[in-house]
Every structure is written in structure tokens, then in C-alpha cells.
């Protein structure tokens, strides 16, 4: 029973340390491949600690760190994914609209208050076709391009493709 509490305590410490590491890293989705290095790093680090403890004749702690090598790897995978989600949420906001057989995706870049719009006829492919600026007026996003003004109201895109109701 004491071993279980040690494993849980170490998992809590791992969660805190890995969360701080990922938070500091602020991983961009473009570096998601880095996870194939980070998980083995965390795993091997715990195995090294277990080896040192085994050499020091502390077998109970050796078992704890052997179990923790798997636990910490799972925690790293989970928190890295949450870190990339956090990074994206800080930078952009996205809406998806369906019109007939076409899926439109509108991305608002939070740092620049610009937007871009793409369309897709098939999953896995999309084409960009509209860019502009956006302003928040009374909780509604007003989207402006050279020749078009649209707005997003209650998750509905108004003023695009013959949709003129307010």
C-alpha cells in the first residue's frame, strides 16, 4: 500500500513538473514531432533513476521509478497535446460552415485581428480564397474585405453567399 502512495505521489510531482515544462515550451503544432523525442527522454530518465536506486540497494524506490517511467511517459503525451491546444487557442479562433456540398472554414487570428477563409469539397483538401480584417462590435464579429462585409452572430455567418438575413 505504501508503494502505491509513493507511485501516486511521484505521479503528482511528475504532472506538476511536466506541466511547467510544457507551459514554458508553449509547443506549436508544427513541432508536434518533438513528442517522439520527449516521451522516450522522460521514460529513459526514469529508468536511469531506477538504475541508480537499484545500484544503491533501494529496491522499493527502484520499483516506484520503473512504474513511473510508464506513468510519466503517459503524462508527457497528454500534457504535450494539451499544450499544443493551448497554443492554438491563444492565437486563433475557428468557425466551420456548411453550404450545400462545400465546407467553409473561417479562421480569426487573435493577435492581428485578421481572418482568412478556406473552402473544402473533400475531406483533407482545402483552398484559401478570402482574407480581410475583423472587428468585434457588441459581441458580433464584423469581417471586412475589399468588397465584402460579413458578420458572425451566434455562430452564424451572415452576408456570405446570398445569406442576407440579419
Choice among 12-16, 77-81, 110-114, 158-162 with the minimum mean pLDDT: 158-162
> Tell me, what's the pLDDT at 166?
46
What distance in Å separates the CA atoms of residue 71 and residue 40, rounded to the nearest whole number? 12
What distance lies between CA 163 and its chain's CA centroid? Answer: 33
- pLDDT reported for residue 35: 93
Tens of pLDDT, residues 53-92: 999 988 889 999 999 999 999 999 999 999 999 999 999 9
The confidence band for 162, taking pLDDT boundaries of 50, 70 and 90, is low
3-58 per-position pLDDT tens digit:
899 999 999 999 999 999 999 999 998 998 999 999 999 999 999 999 999 999 88
Instruction: Determine whether 18 is exposed, middle or buried from the number of CB atoms within 10 Å of its CB (0-12, 13-18, 19+).
Output: buried
Amino acid at each position: 500500500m505504501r508503494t502505491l502512495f509513493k507511485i501516486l505521489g511521484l505521479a503528482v510531482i511528475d504532472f506538476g513538473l511536466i506541466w511547467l515544462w510544457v507551459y514554458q515550451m508553449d509547443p506549436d503544432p508544427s513541432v508536434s514531432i518533438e513528442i517522439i523525442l520527449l516521451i522516450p527522454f522522460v521514460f529513459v530518465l526514469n529508468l536511469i533513476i531506477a538504475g541508480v536506486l537499484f545500484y544503491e540497494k533501494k529496491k522499493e524506490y527502484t520499483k516506484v521509478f520503473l512504474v513511473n517511467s510508464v506513468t510519466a511517459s503517459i503524462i508527457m503525451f497528454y500534457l504535450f497535446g494539451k499544450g499544443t491546444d493551448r497554443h492554438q487557442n491563444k492565437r486563433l479562433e475557428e468557425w466551420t460552415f456548411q453550404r450545400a456540398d462545400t465546407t467553409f472554414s473561417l479562421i480569426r487570428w487573435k493577435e492581428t485581428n485578421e481572418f482568412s477563409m478556406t473552402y473544402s469539397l473533400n475531406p483533407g483538401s482545402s483552398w484559401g480564397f478570402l482574407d480581410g480584417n475583423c472587428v468585434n462590435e457588441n459581441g458580433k464579429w464584423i469581417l471586412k474585405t475589399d468588397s465584402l462585409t460579413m458578420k458572425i452572430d451566434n455562430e452564424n455567418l451572415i452576408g456570405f453567399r446570398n445569406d442576407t438575413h440579419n
